[in-house]
Amino acid sequence: MDTHHLARMANQIGGFFEAMPDRQEALAGIVQHIKRYWEPRMRRELQQCLQQNGGAELKEIVAEALRADEGWKV
């Protein structure tokens, strides 16, 4: 799968949760959504994207959520 597409999808998820007033709840929501709905292959590729370029394509809130919770990884 294209990492640009995965980053865009993750950013859309982040955009939804970014509107929440409680930042910690938003961060947890992002991770929970990815863990619940993304297949392992997608999560592995997102993990590679985060490791290779520090998540440069990701919204700040998405990168923060993924770095804060290791449980989303495969």
**58 falls within a domain:** yes
Determine the structural domain holding residue 30 and report its residue range: 3-69
Task: Please state the domain count of the chain.
Answer: 1
Burial class (CB in 10 A: 0-12, 13-18, 19+), 37: exposed
Interval 4-63: pLDDT, tens: 999 999 999 999 999 999 999 999 999 999 999 999 999 999 998 888 888 899 999 999
pLDDT band at residue 73, thresholds of 50, 70 and 90? confident
**27 falls within a domain:** yes
Q: Which residue has the higher pLDDT, 1 or 8?
A: 8
Q: What is the pLDDT of residue 60?
A: 95
Q: What is the pLDDT of residue 3?
A: 87
Tell me the residue length of the chain.
Answer: 74
pTM: 0.91
